Amino acid sequence: MTITQPDLSVFEAVESEVRSYCRSWPAIFDRAQGSYLYDEDGRTYLDFFAGAGSLNYGHNNPVLKRALIDYLERDGITHALDMSTTAKRAFLETFRDVVLRPRDMDHKVMFPGPTGTNAVESALKLARKVKGRESIVSFTNAFHGMSLGSLAVTGNAFKRAGAGIPLVHGTPMPFDDYLDGRTPDFIWFERLLEDSGSGLNQPAAVIVETVQGEGGINVARAEWLRALADLCRRHDMLLIVDDIQMGCGRTGPFFSFEEAGIVPDIITVSKSIGGYGLPLALTLFRPELDIWEPGEHNGTFRGNNPAFVTAAAALNTYWADGQMEKQTLARGERIERTLRDIVTEHAHAGATFRGRGLVWGLEFQDPARATAVCRRAFELGLLLETSGPQSEVVKFLPPLTITPEELDEGLRIVTRAVRDTD
Amino acid sequence: MTITQPDLSVFEAVESEVRSYCRSWPAIFDRAQGSYLYDEDGRTYLDFFAGAGSLNYGHNNPVLKRALIDYLERDGITHALDMSTTAKRAFLETFRDVVLRPRDMDHKVMFPGPTGTNAVESALKLARKVKGRESIVSFTNAFHGMSLGSLAVTGNAFKRAGAGIPLVHGTPMPFDDYLDGRTPDFIWFERLLEDSGSGLNQPAAVIVETVQGEGGINVARAEWLRALADLCRRHDMLLIVDDIQMGCGRTGPFFSFEEAGIVPDIITVSKSIGGYGLPLALTLFRPELDIWEPGEHNGTFRGNNPAFVTAAAALNTYWADGQMEKQTLARGERIERTLRDIVTEHAHAGATFRGRGLVWGLEFQDPARATAVCRRAFELGLLLETSGPQSEVVKFLPPLTITPEELDEGLRIVTRAVRDTD
Amino acid sequence: MTITQPDLSVFEAVESEVRSYCRSWPAIFDRAQGSYLYDEDGRTYLDFFAGAGSLNYGHNNPVLKRALIDYLERDGITHALDMSTTAKRAFLETFRDVVLRPRDMDHKVMFPGPTGTNAVESALKLARKVKGRESIVSFTNAFHGMSLGSLAVTGNAFKRAGAGIPLVHGTPMPFDDYLDGRTPDFIWFERLLEDSGSGLNQPAAVIVETVQGEGGINVARAEWLRALADLCRRHDMLLIVDDIQMGCGRTGPFFSFEEAGIVPDIITVSKSIGGYGLPLALTLFRPELDIWEPGEHNGTFRGNNPAFVTAAAALNTYWADGQMEKQTLARGERIERTLRDIVTEHAHAGATFRGRGLVWGLEFQDPARATAVCRRAFELGLLLETSGPQSEVVKFLPPLTITPEELDEGLRIVTRAVRDTD
Amino acid sequence: MTITQPDLSVFEAVESEVRSYCRSWPAIFDRAQGSYLYDEDGRTYLDFFAGAGSLNYGHNNPVLKRALIDYLERDGITHALDMSTTAKRAFLETFRDVVLRPRDMDHKVMFPGPTGTNAVESALKLARKVKGRESIVSFTNAFHGMSLGSLAVTGNAFKRAGAGIPLVHGTPMPFDDYLDGRTPDFIWFERLLEDSGSGLNQPAAVIVETVQGEGGINVARAEWLRALADLCRRHDMLLIVDDIQMGCGRTGPFFSFEEAGIVPDIITVSKSIGGYGLPLALTLFRPELDIWEPGEHNGTFRGNNPAFVTAAAALNTYWADGQMEKQTLARGERIERTLRDIVTEHAHAGATFRGRGLVWGLEFQDPARATAVCRRAFELGLLLETSGPQSEVVKFLPPLTITPEELDEGLRIVTRAVRDTD
C-alpha cells in the first residue's frame, strides 16, 4: 500500500504541539465501523488499538448506535449534571442487575466526571478521607491519569515532569515480577509497613492495575493480586483497582480482577463503559466507604446521558450472559498462538510476549523495534500502538467484537510487519 | 402545582451520597427541548440553569441535533483520542475562522480532555513549565474544578477539604471589590510582588474568572481586569482566564474578557463549547507558549468527535455574526429590570443584584432566603440554582436562546417566588 | 584609622563561600570585652551589633564569666541532653521566679535545641499538633530561621530560594504599616478568615515578631499587636511571638510584647537568653498546650549546661528588678535624639528612622547608602550592620550594658559616617 | 545500691512534658569527670552513653578544659556569628592539617549552625541546589534530626508524626541487610533509577549513616557502602554521609566511612567535634559543590568560638597520630568478647549483637528486655540507653577515652543486668 501524505496543515497550524497519536498515524480518519476505520482518502485500517481500550464493542456498534439515535431523536435529556433522569436510572438498574448483583457486589456507584482521571481523583480523595492519611502506594510503571492527583501515582517520568510541581504523597512499589522473580513478593512493601522506623508514611490506600496497559502490558498473577489484597487487609489500607483500561471485559470477565477472586474496596471504570466511545466514568466503592457529603466532589459532565443510554445497551447486549467472556478468551488464545510463533521465529531478536484475554504485548530486545513494527503495520493497514516506558512493547488491543477472520487478517499483518522489520 | 414525590429509590440505593443537584430538584427528568425540561410524570420545567452554563444553545437544539444525528448515521468517527479526523479538522477550521481570526487571536488550540478541570489542569501545567515556577495566584471565591491541581486554586473550603491532602502552591488574592472598595485595587498583590522580602513565592501565573459563577456571581469590572493584565505583564506572570462558565457568549461576546479589551495568555473553555451538552474542553494559548512535548499531557476522551460536530455547528450557526451577542445583552437588560424591581420591592430584606449578559445574581441579607426562593421556584416549575460560599445568591443562567416570552415567564415565577418567601 | 588588610587566606581556602559577616568586616577578631572587640592587629571596635542580639549583656560580661569559669573549674556537667541537672534546675527556678511569675505567666519551658530555628521549628510543630492543621500565617519581611520549617515562614526571597524545594504551608500577611496606612489593619486577613470561600487554608497559628530585626527594623504598634492577639482568639489560631532577637530586654521589658499587654500562646526565645553568647533556646507555651509526648521532639545540645549557668546568672543580675528596663529605655532615647538630628540634617537624602528600646533603624532613600554608612563606620572603628530586604536600613543593636559614654562615642561615629557618605 | 527518689518537682512543674532522658534516669546530675557522672546525692554513674556520642573524649576532659578556661580567662571572643576570629582560624587550620590533608580530602568547611540538624538541613539544601531536584533518598531506620528538612529523611514514625505536616520529598530505601539477606543489595533502588517508568522522583542525593545509632546499631558493611557510593556515581546522585554520631572516631578512624574507602560528596559532623560537649557542627563538601551565595544559609550560633577552641585542642591531642583509632578498636574488641559471652549465655532469649569500634548493640527477642536491662544497669550505677524503632536494642557508647578498667567495670554491670532481668 502506497501512502500519499495527507494534508495536515490545519492541525499543524492550529492545534498544539502536544498532539501525539496523529503523528504516528498520518491519516485523516473519517468514518469507522466495527473493527475498521476509513480515512478520507478511502483507505481502510483494521483496528488493533480500539481507542486505547475505549471501543471494546467496536466502532459505531449498530446496536448501541440505534439506541443512541433513538434517544437523541426523542429529545431525551442530553446533559443533566447529577440530576435524576430516566436514562441514568436505566443505567443504574442495568449496572446493578447485570454487573454488581451477579458478582455479589454491593458497591455504590459514583459519577465522578466523564474521564478516567476524574475517577482516579475521586477514588484517591475518598480513600484519604476515609483513612485520614495522605499517602498512597502505587506501582512501578503504573498509569492513572494526567491531572495532578492521578499523575502523582503514575510512573512515567516524562509525564510526571509535565506537572511542573514536585509530585508527592505517592510511593512506588514493585509491580508483580518487576525484579524478575529475584525477590519474594511484597518482601519490601510489607517490611516497610511492619517497621515503625521504616520512614514510609502509612498509606491510606494502594492503587493497582491488574494488567498495566500503558506501562508495557505487565500482567499481575492472580496469586500476586490475592497477596496484595491480603496485605491491604492486614495493614489497614484500602485496595483500589484501576480497571479503566482492563475492565469492561478486556481480560475476559467484566472486571479484570475477577479471575483473582478478589473484591477491591474501590474500583475505577471508564473508557469502554460508555460503550460507544462516549465519555463516561464510574467510581465504585463498598457502601461503608460512602462517606461523601453531597456535592463534596462534583463536575459538569457527570451526567452524560447519551453515554448512559449506550452504556446500558452495551451491558444488556453483551453482559447478560457469559458469552462475551468466553469469546474473548477464545480470541485471546488465537493471538497467543500467533505471538508464540512470532517469538519462536524471532528468538534471535530476544522476542517475548505476554497477555490475558484480548490484551497482549510483544517485546523485542531492541526497544526501537516495537515502533518499527507499528509503523510497518500502519503501512499495511493495521493500527497498532506501542507501550512501556521506552515504547518497547507492541500492544494488541483489538475490539472484543472482532471476528475471527478480522483477527486473523490483523495477525497476518503483524507477522509480516515483524518480518519486514527484521 | 402539586408535586408528587417521584420514586428515587434506585438512586438512593445504588448511587453515592455525593449526588447533589438531584436533592434540590426531586424529579426524574426524561426529555428536554429548548428552554424546557420534562419529567417522567409529565411536568414541565422552565430552565434558568442551563446545565450550569453547558446548554447556552438550549436543550437538544434542533440545528445541532440534525448535525449530530447525521454524523452518527453516517458512522462518522466517534472516538479517536488525538488522531486527525475530518470532524476535528472542521471544528479547528471553524474555530479559527469564526472565533480566533475575527478577534485577531493566534492562540493554539489544545484538547486537554473533555472537562473543564482537564483544561484547568493543563493550563496550570503549561504555565508552570513555561515559567519554571510552582506558585499560582488565584482569587477569593474562585472555582476551577475538582481534580487536585484545579482544586488547589479553588476557594471553597468545603470542596478543598475533600482533597484529603493539604492544597499548596496556590495563594488567594482579593477579587474585584472583595473588600468593598475600602482598599485600592491590587495594593496588596502588587506590594507582595515588588518586595523581595514579602514571602510570596513568585507566581508562574494568575488564574481568574471574569465573573465568578460558583463564587456568587461576582462581576469583575473591565478596568480591574485591565489592571490585572497589566500587573501580570509587569511582573512576568502569565494571565489565565478561566472562561469555562462565562465564555461561549454567556456575558454577551464569545469570550467574557472581550469587553475589557484584554487578551489572556492562556484561556480555558468548556461547558457550552460542545454546543449540545456533550463533554468537550479547550485550552488556548499564545503560540510562543506552545512548548509542550508530544503526548506530555494526554487523555482518553480528548477526541470526542460528536462534540466536534455539534461545536462546529453551534459556532457556524450562532457566531458567524454579532447577532447572538446583541440578543444576549438585550435579554440581559430584561432580567436586570426585573431584578431592579424585586430589589426595590424587597429593600427591607437587604436584596441586591448584579450581573452581565445572561448571568445574574440576586442576594438577600439572610443567606437561607436564596435557597427558599429556589425551592419555591421549583414548585412553580422553574429551575434556579443558588451560588456563593453560603449558597446566599440566586443565580440566573438561562439558555442564550431563550425567547423573550420564556424569559418573561421565568421572571414572573421568580418575582412570585421571592414574594412567597418573604 | 588606616586598615591593613588582614591575611584571610585560610578562611578563603578552607571555609565555604557561604560565609558572610566576615566579608563586611575584614578583620580577624581575637578578644572582646563589654562593648568592644579587638582584632589581632590591635585595633579596637565599638560594637553596635552585639552578636545580632546575642550579646545583650556585652562581650564576656565579668559576672557571667566568673559563674561560667567557676562551673567549669568544678567539673559541673557540661553536656546532658535533657537529663536533670543541678544547673538546669537552677536555671528553671530562676526563670520561673525572675521572668515568669512576676509577669503572671505560667508557661511551660521547653528546651528545643540550642538555636533560634530549633525553637521556631518546635513552636510550629506544637501549634500544628494542637490545632490539627498545617497552615501557618507569617508576616511580610519576617525572619524566623534557616531550617525548612522556619524558612517556610520567612519572607526573604533569597533565603527562601536556598531551600531547594517549594516552601509551602505558610501564607504571608501584611505586617503593621506595610501598606503605609492606606488600608485598615487586618482588613484582608480577617476577611479571608471569615469567608469560607476565600481559599485560605485555615491556619493553626500566626507567628510574628514585634519588631522585625532582619526585615528592616519594622516596629509593630502596641494596638496592632493587641488587634492581632484578638484576631487570633476570635478565629481559633494560636499566637506565636518569635522573641528571639527582640526578647531578653532588647526593647526595654524582658519580653518585647509586654508593652502591648498581650500574652502569646507560644513564645520563642534564644540569642541573649544564654547571656554569654552561648547557644541556648527556649520554647514557652501555655500549660494547656503541653501535649507533647516524651521525646517527640528532641536534639543533642538541648542541655547546654554552661549556658544554663550563664543564663541564670544573667537573669539574677539584670532582671531581678526593673533597673535594666529603665536603663534600656533611657539609652534608647539617646539614640533616638541622635537619629532625629541625622534625619533633620539629611532630609535631602530622604532619611527616616524608627525603633524601640535599644533597637533602631536608619533608612535612606538610596538603598546603597546604608551599606556605605556601615562600611565607613567600620573604618572608623564601629561595627554596624544593615537590615531589610535590600539592606537599605542601618541597624543599631548595641549591648544593653553599653555605657552612656560608649554610646555617645558610637553615635558620633555614626553621625560622621553618614556625613562622609553624603 | 538503693536509690532514693530525687526531688524532681521543679522539672515536673516548669519543664515541658517533652523531656525524656530524665525519665529513664531519675537522678539530678551535678558533676562529671572522664567516664563518670555524679549526682547531687553523691551517687556515681559510669557512662556508657557519652552524651549520645557527644562526649567521645569523656566528661570535662582536662586537656580541653584547660584550653577552654584559658580562652575564657583571656576574654577570647565568645560569640561571633561567621566573623573571622583567631579561634576559628586555629580550628580551620587544625582541621585541615589533622583531618583533611592526611586523608587526601579537599572538602570545604561550612559552619551551618551548632547542631546536627543544622548540618543536615544545610547538606540537603546544598544537594538540592547543586542538582536542581527536590527528592532525597534516605534509609530505613535513619535518624537525621528534628527540624522539618531533617525529619523528612528520618525513619521513626513517632518522630515523623510530630511534624504536623505530611513529610514529603524523601523516599526510604532498605538499609544494609534490612531484608535479612533475602534480596541482592540495591536491586530495588537501582531498578527504580534505571527505569524511567518507575515513578521514583530522580533524587538529588542519598543520605546515609554508616552505622545507624538511633535506628538500632545497624552496621553497614564496607562493600555495601562502596556499592552505594558507586550507585550514586552512576546515577548522578550526591552521596551524603551523616557522620554526626559515628564520626569523630566512634567507629575507630576519624570518619566512619574511611574503613569502606569511600569519600562522600557531603559529610555532616557534629556531636563530638566540639570535644567538650559544646554545640558545634560542620558540613563538609567537595570544593566544586561550594556554590553557596554568601549568607544564603546562616544562623546565629555558627561561630561558637569556645567550641572552636576545645575542638582544635581535641584534634591536636587525639588525632595527630593513629593512636586513638588503634585504642578504640582494641577497646571495641573487649566489648565484643563480652557481648559474645552474653549472647552465648542467653541464647534462649534470642540475644544477638553487632557493632564496630566503640559502638555496639545487644538485642533480645523480647523488645521489653532492652529497657529492663538499661533500668537494672542504672540501679547498678551504669548509664546505658536503648535504641531501635521499638527500643529493642541495648546501645553501648562509652567515651573513647574510657580506661580498660572502667570498661571492664561497665561490662561486668551489663553482664549482671542481663542476668538479673532474665
Cell triple for B299: 487523555
Phi, psi of D205 (to 5 degrees): -160, 165
* Contact (CB, 8 A) for D386 and D362: no
**What does the radius of gyration of chain D's CA atoms come to, in whole angstroms?**
21
Residues of D in contact with A156 (CB under 8 A): 196-197, 199
Question: Can you tell me which residue has the cell 429529545?
Answer: A75
Give C-chain residues touching D25 at CB under 8 angstroms. 83
* Three cell numbers written together for B290: 506552545
How far apart CA A238 and CA D132 sit, in angstroms, is 35
Is pLDDT above 50 for A1?
A: no
Nearest CA-CA partner of A315 in A280, A355, A359: A280
Give the percent of chain B with pLDDT over 70. Answer: 99
* Per-residue model confidence (pLDDT) at position B181: 87
Residue of chain B whose Cα is closest to the Cα of C191: B179
The candidate with the shortest Cα–Cα distance to A211, out of A250, A172, A180, is: A250
Picking from B135, B158, B168 by the largest number of C CB atoms within 10 A of its own CB, the best residue to mutate is: B168
Mean predicted lDDT score pLDDT of chain C: 97
Interface size B-D, in CB pairs within 8 Å, comes to 3
Alpha-carbon distance D167 to nearest alpha carbon in chain B (angstroms): 11
Rounded Cα–Cα distance for residues D418 and D344 (Å): 12
The confidence score (pLDDT) of residue A184 equals 95
Average pLDDT over residues B310-338: 98
All residues of chain D having their beta carbon less than 8 Å from the beta carbon of residue B128 are none
Cβ contacts of D187 on chain A, cutoff 8 Å: 179, 182-183
| pLDDT per residue as tens digits for the range D35-56 | 999 999 999 999 999 999 999 9
Interchain proximity B187–C179, CB inside 8 Å? yes
Structural contact between residues A90 and A308, judged by C-beta atoms closer than 8 angstroms: yes
pLDDT value at D124 more than 70 = yes
Nearest to B409 by CA among B2, B44, B15, B11: B44
Subunits with 3+ C-beta pairs closer than 8 A to B: A, C, D
Counting one residue from chain A and one from chain D, the pairs whose CB atoms sit within 8 A come to 126
Nearest by CB to residue A196, choosing from D157, D199, D202, is D157
Position B354: which residue type? R
Q: Which residues of C touch A (CB under 8 A)?
A: 165-166
Per-residue pLDDT band for B3 (boundaries 50, 70, 90) equals low
Whether residue D384 contacts residue D48, with contact meaning beta carbons closer than 8 Å, is answered with yes
Residue B312 pLDDT class (50, 70, 90 cuts): very high
Q: What is the pLDDT of residue D1?
A: 46
Q: What is the 3-state secondary structure (H, E, C) of A172-187?
A: EECCCCCCCCCCCCCH
Query: For position A313, what pLDDT does the model report?
Result: 98
Confidence at residue D2, expressed as pLDDT on a 0 to 100 scale: 52
- Chains near A with 3+ CB pairs less than 8 A apart are B, C, D
Residue D21 has pLDDT above 70, yes or no: yes
Give the DSSP letter string of B351-399: -EEEEETTEEEEE-SSHHHHHHHHHHHHHTTEE-EEESTTS-EEEE---
Would the pLDDT of C288 be above 90? yes
Reported as a single tens digit per residue, the pLDDT across C313-336 is 999 999 999 999 999 999 999 999
Confidence of residue B2 (pLDDT cuts 50, 70, 90): low
One DSSP character per residue, D263-305 reads: --SEEEE-GGGGSSS----EEEE-GGG--PPTTSS--GGG-BH
Q: Are A396 and A360 in contact (CB under 8 A)?
A: yes
Task: Determine whether the interchain pair A196/D390 forms a contact, defined as Cβ–Cβ distance below 8 Å.
Answer: yes
Q: What integer is the mean pLDDT of A410-417?
A: 98
Lowest mean pLDDT: which of A339-348, B4-13, B154-163, B334-343?
B4-13
Residue D3: pLDDT over 80 = no
Chain C residues near residue D95 by CB distance under 8 angstroms:
14
**E-assigned strands of C271-418?**
282-285, 352-356, 359-363, 382-383, 385-387, 393-396
Check pLDDT > 60 for residue B82: yes
List residues of A whose CB lies inside 8 A of any C CB.
165-166
Determine the 3-state secondary structure of D210 from DSSP. Answer: coil
| Chains touching C by CB (3 or more pairs below 8 Å) | A, B, D
Cα separation, C393 vs C378, whole angstroms: 16
- Per CB-CB distance under 8 Å, the chain D contacts of C40 are 86
Which of C27, C145, C276 lies nearest to residue D84, judging by beta carbons? C27
Q: Residue C382: helix, strand or coil by DSSP?
A: strand
The chain A residue lying nearest D165, using CA atoms, is A134
Q: What local confidence, expressed as pLDDT, does residue B1 receive? A: 46
**Residues of B engaging D, defined by a Cβ cutoff of 8 Å:** 165-166
Q: What does the pLDDT look like over D95-109, one tens digit per residue?
A: 999 999 999 999 999
Q: Name every residue whose Cβ is closer than 8 Å to that of residue A192 and which is 6 or more positions away in sequence.
A: A198, A199, A200, D140, D172
Chain C residue with CA closest to D6: the answer is: C84
pLDDT at B5: 83
- Cβ neighbours of C165 in A, within 8 Å: 166
The answer to whether C199 contacts B153, with C-beta atoms less than 8 Å apart, is: yes
Q: What pLDDT does C3 receive?
A: 55
Task: Confirm if A205 and A124 have CB atoms less than 8 A apart.
Answer: yes
**Contact assignment for A17 to B80 by CB distance below 8 Å:** no
Alpha helices in B241-322 (DSSP H): 305-318
Q: Are B165 and D166 an interchain contact pair (Cβ–Cβ within 8 Å)? A: yes
Kind of pairing between the strands at C282-285 and C108-110 = antiparallel
Chain D contact set for C51 (CB, 8 A): 79-81, 300
Angstrom CA distances, C348 to B235, C351, D186, stand at 31, 8, 68
Q: What is the pLDDT of residues D188-242, one digit of tens each?
A: 999 999 999 999 999 999 999 999 999 999 999 999 999 999 999 999 999 999 9
Confidence check: pLDDT of B105 > 70: yes
Chain B residues in contact with C140 (beta carbon < 8 A): 191-192, 195, 197-199
Does the pLDDT at position A236 exceed 80? yes
Give B-chain residues touching D165 at CB under 8 angstroms: 166
Give me chain B's average pLDDT, please.
97
Interface test with B, best of A5, A7, A8, A16 (most B CBs within 10 A): A16
* Min distance A345 CA to chain B CA atoms (Å): 33
Chains contacting chain D through 3 or more C-beta pairs under 8 A: A, B, C
Average pLDDT over residues C124-151: 98
CA-nearest residue to D159 within chain C is: C296
How far, in Å, CA of B73 to CA of A61, rounded?
Answer: 11
Is D165 in Cβ contact with B165 (below 8 Å)? no
Cα atoms in the 13 Å half-sphere on the side-chain side of C54? 27
pLDDT single digits (tens) B241-262: 999 999 999 999 999 999 999 9
Q: What is the mean pLDDT of residues B2-18?
A: 89
Q: Half-sphere exposure of A283 toward its Cβ, with a 13 Å CA cutoff?
A: 31
B298: helix, coil or strand?
coil
Who's near A255: CB < 8 A, 6+ residues apart? A103, A241, A243, A247, A267
Q: Which three cell numbers stand for residue A13?
A: 497550524
pLDDT at A414: 98
Chains C and D form CB pairs within 8 A to the count of 365
C-alpha distance from B422 to closest chain D C-alpha (Å): 48
pLDDT band at residue B74 under the 50/70/90 scheme: very high
Of D154, D168, D197, the CB nearest to A168: D168
d(CA B74, CA C351): 80
Torsion sign across C-alpha atoms D206, D211, D217, D223:
positive
* Chain C hits for D313, Cβ within 8 Å: none
